[in-house]
Structure 1
Amino acid sequence: MNEIAITALLIVSLFALLGTGVWIGLTLTGVAWIGMQLFSARPAGDAMAVTVWGAASSWTLTALPLFIWMGEILFRTRLSESMFRGLAPWVSRLPGRLLHTNVIGCTIFAAVSGSSAATCATIGKMSLPELGRRGYPEEITIGSLAGAGTLGLLIPPSIIMIVYGVSADVSIAKLFIAGVLPGILLAALFSGYLGLWSLLNPGRVPAPESTLGLRQKLHESRHLIPVVALIGAVLGSIYSGVATATEAAAVGVVGSLALSVAQGSLNWATFRDSLMGATRLYCMIALILAGAAFLTLSMGYIGLPRRLAEFVGSLGLSPFMLVVALAVFYILLGCFLDGISMVVLTMGVVLPTVQAAGLDLVWFGVFIVIVVEMAQITPPVGFNLFVLQGMTGKEITWIARAALPFFLLLCAMVLLLWFFPQIALWLPAQM
């Protein structure tokens, strides 16, 4: 069979298995086994055992369950309520007023979480009741939360960056620091849009309840001290060279446990729930990573990545057109798969093409994270949409329409990243 027929067979097998409800990790493993068994001389069972063990025993990957557990612990603390009290006085005079607590709160929590869904859920638990009680419009409140929740993937520590770094063999510390400036810029774009919206709709923004003086604002800011200290401990230990990403994740777990004890929210039930929640999520991710590693090996034996890279090269696409094509491809893929599955499923094929085009892999990692962020707010499989549907009871399509302006801002961020690549590359170059 030629390469086109083999590719078609594997794609049909992939979607057939996904359509029957088979877990994504097992689907990837099954498709890889089909490809290697039918179109390769190497025994599929032996290759699968070696590859799955290698993927599961990666030391770098150890940071992933620790960061997930840290986010699960913090999700069960009173951190969100404290953050609202600390942030609200500082944004009361800005156009949009308390709407900015969604963006700023997500930006801060993203720096200790790493998960878009956890960021969206935690800040939503804080802001939705408070903003609703004060009379802020539902559409802009929920839409801004859906958009700002995606910052959990871009601002380090980021689960998706760890997955990409392992898949592409790129320094996770460099990926982490590369996401800082794009994350801050994206948060500024979100807040800028909220300010513009409020200026265009002045009658829909409630008047401030009270105006505090500087001393009172500083006093209320004491509620931000715990989360700022935890951010400083985790990220500071990485960028100062004191700890690796994995060791910093352990620092984060210890710090989040200490914070939970100090707030009085740690008991056996919350400890068990956080540990079980992190275990379930990591097992799902680990199974996907193992299946994707085997699929990458299988495609390598068949020669599909090389052939595809040669085909894309023969099209004569400029690097910019390649990036545009990949952005469209990932946005469409995000309508059917979650972000982690998108990354691990496509890296084996996409990376040779990206390297042939001369794109920096750290820059490409940031690009991938941003297009995966878009997938978080596109139906029908946008994780943030599911989270907000569960919290608000709204229809997925309604939430997606509310989040559309923030989706367009993510598209604008991709263009900014292309025309000004130093947004992502300047900080890693200083390491």
Structure 2
Amino acid sequence: MNDVAVTTLLIVALFALLGSGVWIGLTLAGVAWIGMQLFSSRPAGDAMAITVWGSSSSWTLTALPLFIWMGEILFRTKLSESMFRGLAPWVNGLPGRLLHTNVIGCTIFAAVSGSSAATCATIGKMTLPELGKRGYPEEITIGSLAGAGTLGLLIPPSIIMIVYGVSADVSIARLFVAGIFPGILLASLFSGYLMVWALLNPGKVPRRDGTMTFGQKLHESRHLIPVVLLIAAVLGSIYSGVATATEAAAVGVVGSLLLSAAQRSLGWQTFRDSLMGATRLYCMIALILAGAAFLTLAMGYIGLPRHLAEYVASLGLSPFMLMVALAIFYIILGCFLDGISMVVLTMGVILPTVQAAGIDLIWFGIFIVIVVEMAQITPPVGFNLFVLQGMTGKEITWIARVTMPFFFLMCVMALLLWFVPQIATWLPGKM
């Protein structure tokens, strides 16, 4: 069979298994098994055992469950309420007023969470009721929250950056550093859009709350101190070279437990719920990573990545057109798979092509994260859309529609990243 027939068969097998309700990790392993059994002379059994063990016992991957646990602990504290109280006085004077608490809150929480869904859910539980009581329109409050919630993937520490770093064998610490400027810039684009929307729709923005003096604003900002200290502990330990990403994740867990204890929200039930929640989520991700590692190995034995790279090279695509093609490919793929599955499923095939085009893998990691962010708000499998549907009871198509402006802002961000690559590469280059 030729490469097209082999690829078609494996894709059909992949979607048939996914459509039948088989777990994603087992689906990936099953497709890999089929590929090796039919199209390779290498025995599939021992190859699967060795690959699954190797992918599961990676020291670098240890950071992943720790960051997930840290997010679960913070999810159950009074952090969100404190952040709202600390941020609200400073945004009241901007066009759009308290709408900016969605963007700024998600930006801050993203720096201690690493998860898009956790960021969206935590900030949404706090801002949506408050903004609703004050009369802000649902379409802009929910849309801005869905868009800003994706910052949990881009602003370090990011779970998907860890997954990409392991898959592409690049420095996770450098990836974290590379995500700082793009994350701040994307948050600024979101806030800029809210200002423009507010200026174009002045009648939809409620009147300003009572004014506060500068001293009163500073006094309210004391509620931000715990989260700022936690961010400084986690990211500062990485960027100063004191700790690796894995050790910094452990620092984050200890810090979040101390923060929870200080807020008197740390009890046995909270501890148990956070630990079990992190365990369930990590087991799902670990199974996906193991299946994807086996699939990558199978694709290597079959020779598809090499043939795909040769085919793409033969098309004579410029690096820019290659990135456009990959962006479209990932956005379409994101309609069916979650972000982590997209990354681990495709890296083995995509990376040889990207490297052959001379594209920096750190820069490409940030590009991939932005494109995966877009997939978080595209139906039918947009995780942020699911989160907000559960919180608001709205139809997922309605939520997707009100989120579209933020999708296009991410497209603008991807273009900016291409034309000004130093946005992502300058800071890591200083390490």
TM-score of the pair, normalised by structure 1? 1.00
| Letter paired with 1:343 | V
SS at match of 2:275: helix
Q: Distance in 2 between matches of 1:113 and 1:277?
A: 14
Matches within 5 A, 1:328-407: 328-407=328-407
Residues 225-256 of structure 1 show CA distances to partners (whole Å, capped at 9, x for unaligned) of 00000000000000000000000000000000
CA RMSD of aligned residues (A): 0.4
Per-residue deviation, 1:77: 0.2
Q: Distance in 1 between matches of 2:29 and 2:126?
A: 40
Residues 343-366 of structure 1 show CA distances to partners (whole Å, capped at 9, x for unaligned) of 000001000000011100000000
Residues 269-323 of structure 1 show CA distances to partners (whole Å, capped at 9, x for unaligned) of 1111100000000000000000000000000001000000000000000000000
Residues 114-140 of structure 1 show CA distances to partners (whole Å, capped at 9, x for unaligned) of 000000000001100000000000000
Aligned to 2:230: 230
| Letter paired with 2:330 | Y
Q: Distance in 2 between matches of 1:187 and 1:3?
A: 43
Residues 136-162 of structure 1 show CA distances to partners (whole Å, capped at 9, x for unaligned) of 000000000000000000000000000
Aligned to 2:164: 164
1:412 aligns with 2:412: yes
Q: Distance in 2 between matches of 1:120 and 1:66?
A: 19
SS at match of 2:112: coil
Q: Distance in 1 between matches of 2:225 and 2:86?
A: 9
Q: Distance in 1 between matches of 2:295 and 2:390?
A: 34
Q: Distance in 1 between matches of 2:322 and 2:169?
A: 22
Matches within 5 A, 1:30-49: 30-49=30-49
Q: Distance in 1 between matches of 2:324 and 2:373?
A: 16
SS at match of 1:136: coil
Q: Distance in 2 between matches of 1:304 and 1:239?
A: 38
Q: Distance in 2 between matches of 1:220 and 1:72?
A: 26
| Letter paired with 1:207 | R
SS at match of 1:111: helix
Per-residue deviation, 1:81: 0.2
Q: Distance in 2 between matches of 1:8 and 1:136?
A: 49
| Letter paired with 1:11 | I
Aligned to 1:316: 316
Per-residue deviation, 1:41: 1.1
Q: Distance in 2 between matches of 1:405 and 1:12?
A: 34
Per-residue deviation, 1:208: 1.1
Per-residue deviation, 1:40: 1.0
Aligned to 1:198: 198
TM-score of the pair, normalised by structure 2? 1.00
Per-residue deviation, 1:38: 1.2
Residues 1-38 of structure 1 show CA distances to partners (whole Å, capped at 9, x for unaligned) of 22111111111110110010000000000000011111
1:28 aligns with 2:16: no
Matches within 5 A, 1:56-205: 56-205=56-205
1:291 aligns with 2:296: no
Aligned to 1:257: 257
Q: Which runs of 5+ in 1 are unaligned?
A: none
Q: Distance in 2 between matches of 1:42 and 1:374?
A: 38
Q: Which runs of 5+ in 2 are unaligned?
A: none
Aligned to 2:10: 10
Identical aligned residues as a percent: 86
Q: Distance in 1 between matches of 2:270 and 2:138?
A: 31
Per-residue deviation, 1:95: 0.3
Residues 181-217 of structure 1 show CA distances to partners (whole Å, capped at 9, x for unaligned) of 0000000000000000000000100011211000000
SS at match of 1:404: helix
Residues 358-383 of structure 1 show CA distances to partners (whole Å, capped at 9, x for unaligned) of 10000000000000000000001000
Size of the alignment, in residue pairs? 431
Aligned to 2:54: 54
| Letter paired with 1:257 | L
Q: Distance in 1 between matches of 2:196 and 2:64?
A: 38
| Letter paired with 2:393 | G
Q: Distance in 1 between matches of 2:232 and 2:209?
A: 33
| Letter paired with 2:163 | V
Q: Distance in 1 between matches of 2:304 and 2:209?
A: 62
SS at match of 1:243: coil
1:304 aligns with 2:304: yes
Q: Distance in 2 between matches of 1:49 and 1:314?
A: 36
Aligned to 1:247: 247
Aligned to 1:279: 279
Q: Distance in 2 between matches of 1:335 and 1:39?
A: 29
